[in-house]
Amino acid sequence: MRRKTRTSLGLSALLVAAACVGTGFTPAAASPAPVPGAKAQAPATGAQLQAMQRDLGLTPAAARDRLADERKATKTERAARKVAGAAYAGSWFEAGPGRLTVAVTRRTAAAAVRATGADVRVVRHSARALDATKKRIDKIKAPADVASWRVDPRKNRVIVDVVAGHRSDNDVSTFLRRARAAGPVQVDTVAARPGTFAAGTVGGDPYYTGNVRCSIGFSVYGGFVTAGHCGGAGQAVRGWDNSAVGSFQGSSFPGDDYAWVSVGNGWWTVPVVLGWGTVSDQLVRGSAEAPVGASICRSGSTSHWHCGQLLAKNETVNYSDGRTVYQLTKTSVCAEPGDSGGSFISGDQAQGVTSGGWGDCSGGGETWFQPVNEILQRYGLTLHTA
């Protein structure tokens, strides 16, 4: 049910389009033989490295080293969290030394965590305590000029972002007083509130629900995942050529911002995200969660391919339309209307689907995504991987 050619994208892009899979890149190119004593490097395409060089200010060699360091940090984080137990207080990737730092609340846990290969910082509040503080704040109705709140493992606090110039407003002051009573809180200032990339938006290959155009995130067996604000359960979905694709089988927004769409009528799925000719397409090989501080890239049909850093996890975002979404991941990657629902990926690991943000790719901004593993767990889906 797809057009027969899209020559600028190549065969893999054509398959992605047929699968209605949005955004991204292709199978990694063959790597040269390793040099004895050299750092093991994660596979990456030349175009991907060029994008990291452009957006993160890295040379190709530095980008390769960083991907290798981040892959190692992802494995280290899982081991460190396990040995730290109740003393675990969060973790983050330090790009300079290329190492993971793990915070713990007990010095007695430091040696075991250090043995996993992580650096260690001893702090006061555990991740469990900070998460509990955030959950208490989630129950407080936020006024319009409170933009978001999240756990920050580096600062060992829950950070509440308030729009500049509104911190002393009566309703904001009341919210902040109640938030501080919930636990360790720090108040920061942001330039503007984020908004969702909703109607008329597209991330990877487009799909349509009524008069709304959105993007595909990642293929799953039986369909694809995307943003929940793009359509409700039962709504029919049409593809780029206006032919029937399937329908929303599940959707949640606000509160969450995720959905999954069934695929049929001659459409099929493949484990690829689309590069739109800006970067090569790449196979999706898994969904291991990248740590805070890691590099991350996003592809969308409006702004194409951009990279940045993963800034925070489990952030509650109070969008400009007044609707609140929980447990989003914050990035420094720019996005624009038309990128909604598309793929966030780190290396060859799926991370999430674009929810919303502020700014654009000319002046910069920040974008949030809904983690893909939560979507898979919620609907009992299996990511289509290579």
The CA-based angle 354-356-361, given to 5 degrees, is 90
Catalytic pick from 55, 205, 256, 257? Answer: 257
Catalytic pick from 69, 125, 229, 281? Answer: 229
Find how far residue 64's CA is from the centre of its chain: 21
Is position 229 annotated as part of the catalytic site? yes
Alpha helices (H) along the chain: 10-19, 46-56, 60-84, 110-114, 127-138, 170-182, 372-379
Catalytic pick from 12, 295, 340, 343? Answer: 340
* Residue 364 backbone phi and psi in degrees, to 5: 95, 170
* Alpha carbon distances (Å) from 355 to 91, 216, 310, 332: 24, 12, 15, 14
Cβ atoms 137, 150 nearer than 8 A: no
Cβ atoms 263, 239 nearer than 8 A: no
Strands 185-190 and 157-163: parallel
Is position 340 annotated as part of the catalytic site? yes
Is position 241 annotated as part of the catalytic site? no
Query: Which DSSP letter does residue 85 get?
Result: G
Torsion of the alpha carbons at 295, 300, 305 and 311, rounded to the nearest 10: -20
For the annotated catalytic residues, the residue numbers are: 229, 257, 340
